[in-house]
Amino acid sequence: MKNPVLPAVEERAEELAALGAVNEKLGKLDDSAAKILRDTGVIKMLQPARYGGAEAHPRDFAETVMRIASLDGATGWVAGIVGVHPWEMAMCDQRVQEEIWGADNDTWIASPYAPMGVLRPVDGGYVFNGHWQFSSGTDHCDWIFLGAFLGDEDGQTLMPPRSYHVILPRSDYTIVEDSWDVVGLRGTGSKDIIVEDAFIPAHRAVPFSSMMDGSALAASGLSNPTYAVPFTTIFPLGITSAVIGIAEGALAAHLAYQRTRVQVTGTKVKDDPYVLFAISAAAEEIKASRISMLENVTRIYDKVAAGGEISFNERAASRRTQVAAAWRAVRAMDEVVARSGGNGLRMDNPIQRFWRDGHMGMAHAIHVPGAVFHVAALTDLDVTPPPGPMLSMI
């Protein structure tokens, strides 16, 4: 099936690329960049059809995020993260879906999911407190998912921990200005969030286990296979796709610059076999990252579409593929950036922004390979499931 959004993105490609430096200077997406994401329908790709969404194949979503990130890393990153949230919201309580999308189905939802808050039970729901970092695109969102642990009546975390995703309107949390001052992805505006004694109705506190065990999907009535893809495949998909797209953007900017470049030795880059070898090797590594990423999610989609279930071993292997794809793409990007010369790293050259954005993207928790590779290897050795917190990223 044809990607329903990518042609619209291509029509706005020059605008998106031109806004990269603007976003970075603002420290968040410029309103024009956010409007392009709205106009093209990127954020609604995984949104349910009953609220104007495309219910798109996750492969199409990944391809679209990669293309946007190849034009501007920050815009691609926001598209990848904010664009995943409608997928989860589609399986939440119908009451909160109506609260968010009933009057305006273009409403955006932010995050983060890190469990940095505590839910204290009270009559009818919970009292919620916490402080979170890294809420990407949050200035353009009117609702938010926040990670939390369930607490007791005194607000102390229950053991063993029970993880929740808590849904709040903009009036119930504070965005901390000037809390996003980093080396890369500056245009994402990934600011801190603070919640103080917010009341959360019970229907807006979602047990994370319900997303993992399929019970949320079963209760939703959704039949599109997109929603049967595991959370730990879908959530990283937007982020890893953005990183691969950023590497593609760096390669494209490098090639544009090298076409007419003459090195200090007087040798044209087109006549330097060593640089040419590095360019080709890097291009193939970045392409391999793209292919493995898309093949991975397509294979999982095809299995659930045929009525199959994704085993823990398959989830672990899927995560390994995602993490490895991101690392492969960024290593390849480093090879071409190192051959861009001093002028390639001037602040008016987009190569350096892609380079910084890509490395910042690798710092996200989902790209830390240690636990993911450890678990994947254990499953290959028939140790399933492995113990402790290593499960959190699988």
Query: pLDDT tens, 84-138?
Result: 999 999 999 999 999 999 999 999 999 999 999 999 999 999 999 999 999 999 9
In Å, how far are 58, 91, 221, 302 from 298, measured between CA atoms?
A: 8, 21, 23, 6
Fold of 6-101: Butyryl-Coa Dehydrogenase, subunit A; domain 1 (1.10.540)
Q: What is the DSSP string of 253-287?
A: HHHHHHTS-B-TTS-BGGG-HHHHHHHHHHHHHHH
Handedness of CA 331, 332, 335, 341 (dihedral sign): negative
Write the single-letter amino acid at 160: P
Q: How far is CA 68 from the centre of its chain?
A: 13
Query: For 54, which DSSP code?
Result: -
Residues present in the chain in total:
394
Asked if the 229-393 domain carries CATH number 3.40.50.300, the reply is no
Instruction: Map out the domains of the chain as residue ranges.
Output: 6-101, 109-207, 229-393
- Asked if 109-207 and 229-393 have one fold, the answer is no
- Position 330 scores a pLDDT of 98
Mean pLDDT of 340-358: 94
Q: What is the pLDDT of residues 203-259, one digit of tens each?
A: 999 999 999 999 999 999 999 999 999 999 999 999 999 999 999 999 999 999 988
Fold of 109-207: Butyryl-CoA Dehydrogenase, subunit A; domain 2 (2.40.110)
Predicted TM-score (pTM) of the model is 0.97
- Position 210 scores a pLDDT of 97
Nearest alpha carbon to residue 167 among 85, 79, 235, 226: 85
CA distance 217 to 90: 9
Q: What is the pLDDT of residues 266-290, one digit of tens each?
A: 888 888 899 999 999 999 999 999 9
Report the half-sphere exposure of 189 (CA within 13 A, side-chain side). Answer: 25
